[in-house]
C-alpha cells in the first residue's frame, strides 16, 4: 500500500434526481480539487423513493455508461487518475428485479463493479417493513480492486453486518474497506459506528463509509455520520449530519504499524470451512 487521501461524500437525497446528481457531482469535484485520491458516494446517491417504490435511474446492463446517474461522473473522471466509487447504482437484472451495484470509475471508464450480496429485510420500530428481497437481485461474489498496489475491498450497507464478507476481503489483502450506506435512523443510531469500528479492527484495515443523512421521502430517514476509520479502530474523521465531505489520509505506515504490532490476521486459524462441534447435554442439570 501507499499513502492515499480518502474522501467520503455525505448526501441527503430526495426523489428529485436532477438536483441530487447536481449536488453529488459538485461534492465530487470539490474532493478532486482538494487532492483526494479515492472518492466514494453513498448508496442510493441518485435518489431515494418512498418505501416500496422502485429506485430511480435503473440502468440498462448493456449501456450502464449511458445511464443519467453514471454518465456525468464518467465525464468528471476523464482526467482523474484516482478512483471514484459510485456507492449504489441500480442495474436491471431482469424479472422485475435490479442489482444494487457499486461502480468504480477511472479516467472516464467503469473499471470495476460489485453487486451487493446481502439484502436488507427488517421491520422498523414504527412497524414499517423495509425489504430488498423482492426487488433486488443478490450479487454472487465479493470484489477487491487493486489500484496500483492499493487494495480496496467492496461492500454496500447491509453487507456491513456480515463479518464473513469483510474477512473474505481481508484474506485478499484489502487495505481499505468500503461501506457506502443508507442506514436507517434507528439502526444507525444503535449500530453504525460500532459495526464500522469492528470491521476495521478485526480486519486491520481502513474503513471508508459515506452515508445518506436525514429525511428523504415518506417512511425513509437515514442516520448520516459518514466516517473514515483507522485500522486500530480510531475514528479519523466523521460528519454527523448535513451534506459535505469527510476526508483523511490513509497511510501505509499506520497500516504496517497495526499489522506488525498485533498480527491477528496471521494468527487466524479458522477458515470458512471450519464447523463447530455441538455438544448436547442430557439429564437433569439441577441434579448433583
- Per-position b or e across 273-288, b if 16+ CB within 10 A of its CB: eeeeeeeeeeeeeeee
Tell me the C-alpha distance between 210 and 14, whole Å.
17
- In 3-state terms, what secondary structure has residue 233? coil
Q: Which of 40, 43, 23, 16 is nearest to 183 (CA)?
A: 43
What stretch of H or E contains 99? strand 97-106
Neighbours of 152 (CB within 10 A): 26
Tell me the C-alpha distance between 67 and 130, whole Å.
26
Catalytic positions, written as ranges:
43, 116, 157
Q: Hunting for cell 427488517 — which residue is that?
A: 122
Tell me the C-alpha distance between 164 and 251, whole Å.
25
Q: Which of 13, 86, 80, 19 is nearest to 50 (CA)?
A: 13
Neighbours of 71 (CB within 10 A): 15
Amino acid at each position: 500500500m501507499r499513502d492515499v487521501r480518502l474522501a467520503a461524500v455525505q448526501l441527503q437525497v430526495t426523489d428529485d434526481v436532477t438536483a441530487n446528481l447536481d449536488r453529488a457531482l459538485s461534492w465530487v469535484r470539490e474532493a478532486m480539487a482538494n487532492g483526494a485520491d479515492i472518492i466514494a458516494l453513498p448508496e442510493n446517491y441518485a435518489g431515494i423513493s418512498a418505501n416500496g417504490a422502485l429506485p430511480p435511474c435503473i440502468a440498462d446492463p448493456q449501456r450502464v455508461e449511458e445511464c443519467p446517474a453514471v454518465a456525468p461522473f464518467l465525464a468528471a473522471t476523464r482526467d482523474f487518475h484516482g478512483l471514484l466509487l459510485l456507492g449504489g447504482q441500480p442495474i436491471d437484472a431482469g424479472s422485475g428485479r435490479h442489482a444494487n451495484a457499486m461502480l468504480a470509475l477511472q479516467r472516464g471508464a467503469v473499471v470495476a463493479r460489485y453487486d451487493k450480496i446481502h439484502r436488507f429485510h427488517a421491520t422498523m420500530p414504527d412497524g414499517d417493513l423495509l425489504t430488498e428481497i423482492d426487488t433486488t437481485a443478490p450479487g454472487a461474489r465479493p470484489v477487491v480492486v487493486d489500484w496500483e498496489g492499493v487494495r480496496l475491498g467492496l461492500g454496500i450497507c447491509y453487507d456491513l453486518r456480515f463479518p464473513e464478507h469483510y474477512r473474505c476481503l481481508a484474506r485478499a489483502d484489502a487495505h481499505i474497506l468500503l461501506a457506502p450506506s443508507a442506514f436507517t435512523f434507528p439502526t444507525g443510531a444503535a449500530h453504525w459506528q460500532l459495526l464500522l469500528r469492528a470491521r476495521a479492527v478485526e480486519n486491520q484495515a481502513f474503513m471508508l463509509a459515506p452515508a445518506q443523512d436525514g429525511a428523504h421521502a415518506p417512511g425513509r430517514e437515514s442516520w448520516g455520520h459518514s466516517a473514515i476509520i483507522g485500522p486500530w479502530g480510531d475514528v479519523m474523521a466523521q460528519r454527523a449530519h448535513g451534506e459535505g465531505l469527510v476526508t483523511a489520509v490513509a497511510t501505509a505506515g499506520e497500516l504496517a504499524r497495526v499489522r506488525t504490532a498485533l498480527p491477528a490476521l496471521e494468527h487466524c486459524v479458522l477458515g470458512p470451512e471450519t464447523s463447530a462441534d455441538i455438544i448436547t447435554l442430557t439429564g437433569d442439570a439441577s441434579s448433583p
